[in-house]
Amino acid sequence: MKMEENRQSNIELLRIIAMFMILVIHANMISLSRPTTDELLLNAIPTITRYFFESFGIVGVDIFVLISGWFLINTRAKSFFSFFFQILTLWGGIFLLMLFTGNTQLSVKNVLEVFAFTKWDWFVKAYIVLMIIAPILNTYVKNSSERLQRNILIGFLVFQSTYGWLGGANRFFVNGYGPLSFVGLYLLAQYVHCTIKQLETPHRLFRLFNLNKKCDLMVFTGSITINTFLGVTGLYLGIDIFNTVYAYTNPFTIIAGLYLLLFFSKIDMKSSRIVNLFAAGSFAVYLIHSQVDIRPLFNISVQYLYASFNNVTCILVLFVFLVLVFIASVAIDLPILWMWNKLSKQFDIK
């Protein structure tokens, strides 16, 4: 929600795309049921296409966190109040609207959901933890050598991939649905952004993260293609590896997110007020469409459109629907952004 001056529109464009990716995964395998092995055998192309879109979309959450690490989170009272103001205003407003129109009931459970006091809304709470510990992470980054950061990152990512992704340490990593994996992504992005440019960086490592844009896209495309292959193969063999393949801790997903970020960082783009505005409102897209009373309406709409159209037409119609959801959410957030700017100036919140 927060609008800042000197935003880099190339990265802000990626922020928009990342949120659209999240819309895609919510519409694909959550609003719609997962394809079965029989569906794969009878209609291979539509099933493989859905797995490809899932592989594309699952990168979105990791990109959101990587962008935070790319710039470092400047945790201040203003950023915290802004974050909570947006959440409470949107979720509280939707709850009151649904209550007055008779679409929900006044209950302790429903009120608690406005304040995220449920086991759901994991991203909001995980990101709040990241904001709280960001000053510690920032101090570590600024005062640690390249070698120390590199060794810690390698150790963390190897352990996460071995135990958090393939092994049994899901109490700690929960497939990436928590702040621990966010910390790894945050430090990875900052390492690549800043430390990799120093002269002490090993030459081979420097070259690895300084490929041309075409190579960055090839790495991104290759990574999501591998995930698609793994997902479809598991479905074909009847092996339940969906949650493993589409975990945020999947190294191929992390690689895809990192190299898409590297690609956009190399785009020479003039500052765009429209791009920056939509990026500032992108988090509202998540908050609105995933709100407990709106989510069923979102699911029903996706299911209706999926059942009403076929093949390429279905993809285009769903794409337009998701774009409209995005635009409507940003439009709803605009007066909230205006109110927050007024309040923060009135009470001199810094």
The residue extents of the domains of the chain are 9-346
Between 11-20, 116-125, 152-161, 230-239, the lowest mean confidence (pLDDT) is in 116-125
Given a cut of 70, whether residue 5 has pLDDT beyond it is no
Given a cut of 90, whether residue 252 has pLDDT beyond it is yes
Query: Quick one: DSSP state of residue 105?
Result: -
Given a cut of 50, whether residue 4 has pLDDT beyond it is no
Nearest to 182, CA basis, from 67, 289, 293: 67
Q: Mind giving me the DSSP string for 172-240?
A: HHGGG-SHHHHHHHHHHHHHHHTGGGSTTS-HHHHHHT---HHHHHHHHHHHHHHHHHHHHHHHHHT--
Gap between the Cα atoms of 175 and 164, Å rounded: 7
Task: Count Cβ neighbours within 10 Å for each residue of 127-144 and write b for 16 or more, e otherwise.
Answer: beebbeebeebbeebeee
Give residue 278's pLDDT.
95
Is 114 within 8 Å of 88 (Cβ atoms)? yes
Gap between the Cα atoms of 133 and 148, Å rounded: 19
Given a cut of 50, whether residue 84 has pLDDT beyond it is yes
More confident residue, 203 or 143: 143
272 Cβ contact partners less than 8 Å away, ≥ 6 residues apart: 9, 12, 13
Q: Quick one: average pLDDT of 74-90?
A: 89
Given a cut of 50, whether residue 41 has pLDDT beyond it is yes
User: By percentage, how much of the chain surpasses pLDDT 70?
Assistant: 97
Q: Each residue of 136-145: pLDDT tens digit? A: 999 999 999 8
Q: Quick one: average pLDDT of 111-119?
A: 88
The helix-helix angle for 77-100 and 282-289 (nearest 10°) equals 40
Tokens standing for 333?
């957030």
Q: Each residue of 157-192: pLDDT tens digit? A: 999 999 889 886 777 888 899 999 999 999 999 999
Supply the pTM of this predicted model.
0.93
- Mean pLDDT, the chain, rounded, equals 92
Helix, strand or coil, per DSSP, at residue 293? coil
Q: Each residue of 16-40: pLDDT tens digit? A: 999 999 999 999 999 999 999 999 9
Given a cut of 90, whether residue 205 has pLDDT beyond it is no
Query: Quick one: DSSP state of residue 26?
Result: I
3-class SS letters over 306-320: HHHCCHHHHHHHHHH
Given a cut of 80, whether residue 240 has pLDDT beyond it is yes
